[in-house]
Structure 1
Amino acid sequence: MSKQNIFKKNDLYIYDLSPLIINSLKLVNFDSNLNEVELPDAQNEANEPEQLSQETKLKEISNSLTCNTCDLEFNDQKIKREHYRTDFHIFNVKRKVNGLDPLSEINYSNLTDLNDDFKKDEAMDTIDEVGKTTDENSSSEEEPIGSDTDMYAETLSTLDINIKNETQKLEDEILEQAVTVSHLNTRSAQIYFNSDILTGAREAFGAYKTLFNEKELEIPLDTVKAWNDGDSQSTAISALFMVSGGHFAGAIVSHQKLNVKRNSKNTEETIQEQAVSFLEKKTFHRYTTRRKQGGSQSANDNAKGKANSAGSTLRRYNEFALREDIQNLLKEWNPYLQKCQNIFIRANSVFDKKTFMDSDYISKEDDRIKTFPFPTNKPALHELKKAWCELVYLKVSEKPKPSETKIKLTDNSSALKNNDNNSQKTEIKLEEQQTKEALSLLKKGRAPLLIAFLRKNKLNANFILEPKNRYENTPTLLHFASQQGFKQMVGILSTTLKADLSIKNKFGKTPYELAKNNSIKQAFQIARFNLGESYTSWQDTKIGGALSREQVDEMNKEEETIKNEELRNAIEEELQKQKEKRDKELEEKRGVGCTLGNNEVDFSVKQNLNLNSLNEDQRKRLMREQRARAAEARIKAMQNK
């Protein structure tokens, strides 16, 4: 059997893993660059007689009994560690760092003895000026001592500072690496576990971080083993809630799976979804959003003001009714909520979130409240099962790839980069910057800020937008506002800021001629009425006749009335057509019919009756009656003869 067939998806339920999978799991740790780092087992660290340094914790412990620096061999690891603490080893390390050959233990011992003798002779008070109290033998003996000790002192003095710096730098790097090495360094929503039963080189089991609380997240592997220890999860439960667009779905799910060995595989649900055990479940819907419009009524009210239509009132009422229904359900399920290990909530809007957080049964500070770390569809019971299966089953995922190390810029390259940025900044003209800021205020409809900006920079409303080749069609603010359909800003620019209405663009068009709808043209006509006929040559502006705001409102009302009347007539005409069509279909279905009485039966009419609507017994009775009447007619005809 290949390794691919060792386990199935049903075996990856995180609360009921097989011993084969549990024993194969190894937590994956990453450094800051997402390189995988192997840490020693905790058991080996506990058995170590002495506390390991940060460096030995990060690197694999060597079993060699030799010191490559001093070229020595030892009998056991304890003697080797004691050697690493000696001055002899430290001295050779300093020499090796600076490119010097290490000294043997005998040469080092002679060197230290000579240095001690030199220090003793230097401390004697009997030494006078050079050459007075020394004889030829002593002077001949001091020469080699002086040369050796000078070499030793010079070596220590020149190397000590460098070695301190290098040692400190190495310790800082090791400490930094130790701090950043963690299984939580990835930006993924999952924790990764290596396993021997996986075939891929970069494959690992992934478990969602949201399943663990803050303490469990520090020791995820031990937590998973605890979940699978005995009956720890037999009575554990979690809560699932989804609300969106007026749809709500909630359930209390047990961590104990159902037995689905004999279930059919041809249903709409997967085997994993069939095994989900819902202790409680509830769904309901309220009309809170306009079809194909998106967004709740409360969000629309906050953005555009409170609407007064019948539909908005109904949607607004249903939002509060939905909130009350959810809070009543939380009250009913409060005994379950108190025992839940996790409470997963999907509520995108602020109003929906407050529905849960403002209740007396769920607190904002509760660390059990979590969100689904993946997108979900419309709230429904099937979607709750699907989301729960996505959460609690291990995923065979690919481990994150190491990030590329960023190369630090040298002083020259950084200086060049700064020069390039400065040159780019200086190339931007002041007029272009002013154009950008003015258009930004214009698009946002910030009329007071736009007026203040123009006055501060000593600009009028007719200043030409830069760069000119980009704004050939809309060279002024009024052209731009007219083309983009900013009705309010057209009135302010023309009436308040007295913008020139006759300026033409490259193609010979005034701002009025760039208007794309009737409402913008009416804004220009209102400006003409407010400014008066003597303000400018209105013929050059191409603006139509002056209209007051009242006239415009009256015209718009008349147009709206006409449109509504036309729409009403069209609806009535369509309804009439539909009614006539239904009546015609009903008449065809009923047939021609006949008159009841003692008159002679028209059998040709009877033959045209539609018998499809009669059942078998009714059809037999009708046939008997027809035969009886036919017999009566024959008898009557014979009597008349």
Structure 2
Amino acid sequence: MNVKAADIKGQDLYIFDLRDDVLDSLELMVFDSSVMEVRKNQLNNDQRATGYKNGNLDSPGCGSCEIELGSLDSRKEHYKTDYHRFNIKRKLSGLSPVSSTEFDIIAENDDLESLSGSDSSSDSDGEDVDLYQEDKDKLTAILEDEVANMALRDDGSTRPDSHLNTRSPQIYFKSSLLPTNQIFAAFKALFSAPEVEVPLQTIRGWNENGRNDTEVPFSALFMIGGGHFAGAILSHKRLNIKGNMSKSGETLQERAVQLLEHKTIHRYTTRRKQGGSQSAMDSSKGKANSAGSSLRRYNETALKIDIQKLLQQWEPYLQKCKNIFIRAKSANDRKIFFDAKTCLDKNDPRIRNFPFTTKRPTSHELKRAWCQLTYLHFSEKPQTSPGPKPAAIKEPHKLPPQKSVPTEIPIKELQTAELLSLLKKSKAPMLISYLRKHNLNVDMLLEPQQDYVQTPTMLHFASQHGLKNMVFILLNNLKSDPTTKNVFGKTPWELTKKKEVQQSFQIARSNLGEDLVDWSTSHVGPAMTREEVERANEIEEKRIGSERSRLIEQELTAAKEKQQKEKDAKRGSGKLLAPQLSAAQQNMNSLTDDQRMRLMREQRARAAESRAKLNANR
């Protein structure tokens, strides 16, 4: 079946689950030291011995170590050894491989001379080697010494052909499914040190294991910076997103990312618009005593504690992770992950940096970074670059190379720079004096012309940059031509939208008269005297002021009405607090306390007399 590049979708390029036809079409690209592609038939005998065949090792032995191996399991074990890794580095550095016996001697005795493989001898003694190897892998440091000694030879030797010669963070693959000018690219950071030597074989292994193994590998991603932290444990197996609702801002690849664990922490540790953490500020400018600085210091400590607790909780995952990617904004942030309270070691080969820039740490950014790491990208072929020149030994009779004399700046460019400087500072007398002193035309073209395509003359420049005073000086005093057009057919008048600059053009037109130039060609507005401009501005200011007052009054009226409505709504229709009082009760309420007591005594006396009369009648 014939498949076109347009039929390849983003979902088909997941490096752990590639589509079969895409995987079968991949062919590893090999480059020489000048980043020129080396074809299959151009591979030399040394590379054929290493087992290159579309990036696979088709030999039953190891070409890098030049030994015979048996079964596939023994070959896999051999590829994981330091011996194989050391010989690979020697091959890439142009050195011959060492035998296992020689390697054992190197590992035990740190014998630099036994590594030589060249006629040059090392001038370093044991103490120098020990100092050089500080905080480095022992064998890697020895190999670097040997390569440095090789560079002192003037034999014109070059780096052997390899897919790593591009000095790029990516490995490149050709494919019959793509056009000839396009290739696939995968990030090297996803491969371990042995895997990056045989990337295509590694990718095939990932795809086979992903379909057969029951235990799915996973990786860890951490980002920290500016008081923001995001971490996640991601499975190498994608989620089935068929039938799921789409989320805004997420691609199909990001939706398919399977998060086993994830956590984000945000704390205030950086002063807004100032940049840098509080600890960095304290180190550079001394400890501040403000409330904000104390809060930021507390939050820095709290953030560190929270992250380390999280790493302790995720320790079972971190011990089995295939890769651990860390992005830290500063060295202090990176130290948080390698504290004694965490389970991570800075020398762990699984720990790598992101080979691209990332944004603010969030869960979504972790997904985006994981997709960028684990999907093949469409790319163009690398461009050829000159290879590194071998270091030549200085001979005593040869003179040192002369310093290159800087090229002189053309006089027109110097004059342009000086004129524009005076123009931007609105120094009109000095500008006029400079033009007369150097006998320059006010309508001269600014140099270099490719930098001033939009503003070829000083009048264009002043108009575009809103220099109203200089526009008037150039027109009225220096008689600059307002009809000159740039390559886009724009006159100086058309380059400004500011009213005051346009009025400068109109005042100058009034002063110069209609016979100086064809003003219709310059598109300048009708001529106006300075008094007319001032009256028009006053009228406009009054109109704007009255309109502003009207709007303010309208807003105040609306605000008062709204306030009154709110008061009425709170007050309601009103309720009776007590029943209506009789006339006698209202009179009683109007009396003082003494009057009310005398009235009550009289009422009691009358009541007593009435009762006595009733008793007498009986």
Structure-1-length-normalised TM-score: 0.45
